[in-house]
Chain A
Amino acid sequence: MARPVRFNIKGDVKLVTEGPEGYAGEGFFATTLDKLVGMGRKNSMWPLPFATSCCGIEFMATMASHYDFARFGSERVGFSPRQCDILMVMGTIAKKMGPVVKEVYLQMAEPRWVMAVGACASSGGIFDTYSVLQGIDQIIPVDVYVPGCPPRPEAIIDGFMKVQELVGKESLRRRNSDRYKELMNSYGIQ
């Protein structure tokens, strides 16, 4: 009797679709170290959610089973900055909260990335007022901005894949470069 459900037997499912470029042969594979490190880093990014409002709710949906953020190697949401690779700032950051965001960023170890999720974290959003920080890029450097008010989980995933692209292509020497040090100095970070 034929099995009622037949899957993964025709050979059209590939477990690994892409790897780094390199020379492969019988029993060996040669590539550059930073490509391997980049592949490793980008597929095991630990997010540190800094959720203050409705964008944080969208992130919860992104983490849950339907959108399943774990597919990107990020099921381990860390609430300790020292263990995390990417700071995801989601929601309105009041000026009084600004030093807290900066402190969290400073406690993260290099290499670290920052994603501003939603209009408020990116630019202050509709809160064009005396008490709200007009974008977190006034206090810490940001790698990827996700627009939306709030953005859908698809948008957050798209932004995360943009970060993965940056991480995978980043040179191992970037964080020692003068340009990077200049960027950090412009934020008063040593």
Chain B
Amino acid sequence: MEITNEYIQQRLTEKFGDQVTGFEEPYGMLTFEAPKELNLKVLQFLYDDEVLKFRFLTDLCAVHYPEQPGRELAVVYHLHNLENNVRVRFKVFAPIAAPDVFSATALFSAANWMERETYDFFGVNFVGHPNLKRILNVDEMDYFPLRKEYPLEDQTRIDKDDEMFGRG
């Protein structure tokens, strides 16, 4: 059978009720969010269901929204049903003061490195990850560079002329 966005939304609402919210379809791709405590349950449901079969984790990343107090960090999962070529985007939000999100490594092996990358750049603490340490940046780095309170430029350099870099 053909899997439409309406069908996925209907199945999710049947299973999780009003806990799954924020349904959108930007550029035709179904996007929704759930409380962060439910992230593994939702992923497991989408994985196990005999019709939905979202069994491929395409991408996992984070976004920092400093203007949303209490839900600053969004963790975004991109899932793919390879059989029917259908994709969904699933978000959970965590406060930046306690950015604890359950790790999806038990469900998807691909989540291992992607969660390490997300930890490296945004400092999301994936509870249950087997080896949560930096993967791309130098080990000595003591901050999370893609959080928006940190300037993009290297702060150790004082002899660079700001006007030459378009920020004079």
Q: Which residues of A contact B (CB under 8 A)?
A: 95-96, 98, 123-124, 128-132, 134
Contacts and interface: CB of A to CB of B under 8 A. Distances in A.
Contacts, number: 32
Interface string B139-163: 0010001000010111011001000
Query: Which secondary structure dominates where chain B touches chain A?
Result: loop
Given A95-B138, A96-B137, A96-B138, A130 B150 contact: yes
B156 A134 contact: yes
A134 B137 CA distance: 15
B27 interface: no
Contacts of A129: 152-154
Which residue, B150, B154, B157, B160, has most C-beta atoms of chain A within 10 A?
B154
A131 B136 CA distance: 9
Given A96-B138, A134-B154, 16 more contacts: A95-B137, A96-B137, A98-B138, A124-B154, A128-B153, A128-B154, A128-B160, A128-B165, A129-B152, A129-B154, A130-B150, A130-B152, A130-B154, A131-B137, A134-B156, A134-B157
Nearest to B162: A128
A173 B89 CA distance: 67
Nearest to B134: A96
Contacts of B138: 95-96, 98
Interface residues of B, number: 13
Interface of B: 136-138, 141, 145, 150, 152-154, 156-157, 160, 165
Contacts of B153: 128-130
Contacts of B157: 124, 128, 134
B135 to A, nearest CB: 11
Nearest to A127: B154
10 contacts: A96-B138, A98-B138, A128-B160, A128-B165, A129-B153, A130-B137, A130-B141, A131-B137, A134-B154, A134-B157
A129 to B, nearest CB: 6
Nearest to B140: A95
Nearest to A123: B160
Contacts of A95: 137-138
B36 to A, nearest CB: 27
Contacts of A123: 160
B145 A131 contact: yes
Contacts of A130: 137, 141, 145, 150, 152-154
A124 B156 CA distance: 12
A124 B165 CA distance: 12
A124 B155 CA distance: 13
Contacts of A98: 138
A96 B139 CA distance: 9
